[in-house]
Amino acid sequence: MFVDIAKIHIKAGDGGDGAVAFHREKYVASGGPDGGDGGRGGNIVFVADDNLSTLADFRYKRKYKAAKGENGRGGRQNGKKAEDLVIRVPRGTLVKEAESGRILADISDKTPVVVAKGGKGGWGNPHFATPTRQTPRFAKPGQPGEEYEVQLELKLLADVGIVGFPNVGKSTLISVVSEAKPIIANYHFTTITPVLGVVRMGEGSSFVMADIPGLIEGAGDGLGLGHQFLRHVERCRMLVHMVDVSGSEGRDPREDFRIINEELAKFDPELAKRPMIVAGNKCDLTDDETVEDFRKFIEDQGYKFFPIMAAISYEVEPLLKEIQEQLSKLPPITVYEPEPAPLPSEADIEKREVRVENHDGIFFVEADWLLRILRTIDFSDSDSLQYFQRVLIGSGVIDALKDAGINEGDTVSMYDFEFDFVE
């Protein structure tokens, strides 16, 4: 079964805890704090695997969790960082945050992409030693790893997409111009999964063509498997619109052309603007006058028209040369950039749960929601800092610090960010 969309839960590893320990050695009195730092938690890493062509594996396993970092030990021994968890997906897979639809990664090349970062290891007690606090009996716990509910969407990476009604000859064309071996038969929806083929145009010149399963009226609204098929056209640099000019299925080729174009525009208005060539197939089943009338209809709308007989490769070469020429002038295949996490609106900030612990005058603040905000703050930017200050006030963090007995000048520690408290 071809599966091109899946939903999974990913959880990066938590950081290991810092250790509380003191140096103990014969003839060495008061050796001082000696605890090591915790190790970093494992990342969740996505990698493209060309041996995979669907997301079917994710139907059976939906939860992925990386290992926790090792805790620190005495003797200033830092914990070992955890191994990353590598998730292999087909090339062209988009990783989106399920709830918001925000793009986290586009797995389009061999470069591994960290989608969820492991938590940093906590500090051991030597980090908290000062001239006035020489025996700190506390350490920092490790930070939690990032956690997401993500949706995986496979969007094929092809230079050219062949679109059209079922049984117009799309599979036949890709079978004669490439090494692809689609199923070909004289009935509708023979092709139920997209098929990729490499078209070689001489030494050092080639392009990837995709046979998109037949579309029907209403595909843009999801009728049939419309959305599932149209998703794979979105990355194509140009389209070849194949039409049965003979009307052998009892349909009007002009109406076929109009309907498919409307469905493309309905699914994504950008698809309607994509460069397009029209191939009129099955010319042997009609007369020259019909073909020329259809040519005029297409050319009047500004498209180039190529009459072909795909089954015997008749006039296919001029079509391929035109595709090659147009591709040489077009930008590369679309690669989606990750979208930054939006900052929560100040109007949405309300009192939230927060934990404050006082250890020898250092006030540790912990809250899962606060860690997510900290990761979006640029502490070198004044506007970002002012936003963060308003969040601390509006969410009740400042009130919680005051309730815990903080005084001006005391140190506030929020994960890996520290500052002196000033009223």
CATH code at 160-327: 3.40.50.300
> Looking at domain 348-423, which of 3.10.20.30, 3.90.79.10, 3.40.50.80, 3.30.300.350 is its CATH number?
3.30.300.350
Q: What is the per-residue pLDDT for 182?
A: 58
Higher pLDDT, 268 or 149: 149
Question: Phi and psi at residue 229, in whole multiples of 5°?
Answer: -80, -45
Judge whether 170 and 162 are in contact, CB under 8 Å: yes
Which range of 22-26, 230-234, 307-311, 379-383 scores highest in mean pLDDT? It is 307-311
Average the pLDDT over 214-227 and give the result: 49
Domain ranges in the chain with CATH number 3.40.50.300:
160-327
Q: What is the per-residue pLDDT for 45?
A: 97
Beta strands 276-281; 304-307: pairing state: parallel
- In order of 122, 149, 227, 320, 414, the CA distances from 220 in angstroms are 51, 27, 6, 28, 49
- In order of 88, 112, 235, the CA distances from 49 in angstroms are 6, 10, 19
Say how many C-beta atoms besides its own lie within 10 A of residue 290's C-beta: 16
- In order of 53, 90, 111, 161, 197, the CA distances from 202 in angstroms are 27, 28, 29, 21, 15
Domain ranges in the chain with CATH number 2.70.210.12:
1-154
pLDDT band at 198 (very low <50, low <70, confident <90, very high): confident
Judge whether 159 and 274 are in contact, CB under 8 Å: no
Judge whether 244 and 165 are in contact, CB under 8 Å: yes
Beta-carbon contacts of 177 under 8 Å, excluding residues fewer than 6 positions away, are 197, 199, 209, 316, 320
Which range of 23-27, 142-146, 341-345 scores highest in mean pLDDT? It is 142-146
Cα 354 to Cα 344: distance, rounded to the nearest angstrom: 17
End-to-end CA distance of the chain: 62
Strand partners, 419: 412
- pLDDT for 299-326, tens place per residue? 999 999 999 998 898 999 999 999 999 9
Judge whether 246 and 290 are in contact, CB under 8 Å: yes
Cα 400 to Cα 410: distance, rounded to the nearest angstrom: 14
- Residue in 293, 291, 275 with CA at minimum distance from that of residue 283: 291
CATH code at 1-154: 2.70.210.12
Helix residue spans in 221-275 (DSSP H): 226-230, 253-267, 269-272
Judge whether 255 and 28 are in contact, CB under 8 Å: no
- Residue in 281, 309, 413 with CA at minimum distance from that of residue 356: 413
Q: What is the per-residue pLDDT for 63?
A: 96
Q: What is the per-residue pLDDT for 129?
A: 83
- pLDDT for 344-403, tens place per residue? 665 555 566 788 888 878 888 887 778 777 777 777 888 788 888 888 888 888 888 888
Domain ranges in the chain with CATH number 3.30.300.350:
348-423
Judge whether 207 and 324 are in contact, CB under 8 Å: yes
- Residue in 42, 117, 122, 47 with CA at minimum distance from that of residue 89: 47
- Residue in 265, 301, 296, 308 with CA at minimum distance from that of residue 170: 308
Tell me the HSE value of 80 on the side-chain side, using a 13 A CA sphere: 4
Average the pLDDT over 163-186 and give the result: 79
Cα 396 to Cα 392: distance, rounded to the nearest angstrom: 6
Higher pLDDT, 9 or 394: 9
